[in-house]
Amino acid sequence: MNNALELKDAPERTEQLLADIQRMLNAENIFTNDVQQQMLTSHVKAMVLRSITGEPLPEVEKELFDEISPESMKMAEEVVNWLGNLPIEEAYLLSVHFEVAKDNNH
């Protein structure tokens, strides 16, 4: 994937990334409700912008994410790797969206 994005590319890149995430979640039988999808969309928009602008995340304490399942973390790391230039802390935050959506199945 092309990491040399410009701000004008952000909406298209966001839509592409959301579609890729949706396919990944569907393959795992994980489905978001409307509120969760809206929150995920907002987070992905911000992630794409950070990947373009280089704006850093505030400091994240990894220990806060100890209860996230390895599966959710692995999916989040995969998404962050698709963008290619974000810190691993981005995956910690993204993994929460996947973990919450997994609970919809219970």
Confidence at residue 105, expressed as pLDDT on a 0 to 100 scale = 72
In a domain, 34, yes or no: yes
d(CA 50, CA 104): 29
Tell me the pLDDT tens digit for each residue of 26-74. Answer: 999 999 999 999 999 999 999 999 999 999 998 999 999 999 999 999 9
In a domain, 46, yes or no: yes
Mean pLDDT for the stretch of residues 89-100:
97
In a domain, 2, yes or no: no
Domain count of the fold of the chain: 1
Mean pLDDT for the stretch of residues 4-9:
82
d(CA 74, CA 55): 24
Residue 49, domain CATH: 1.10.1790.10
Q: Angle, nearest 10°, between helix axes 70-83 and 89-102?
A: 130
Regarding pTM above 0.85, the answer is yes
In a domain, 1, yes or no: no
Rg of the chain on CA atoms, in Å: 13
Task: List CB contacts of 2: < 8 A, sequence separation 6 or more.
Answer: none
Range of the domain at 24: 7-105
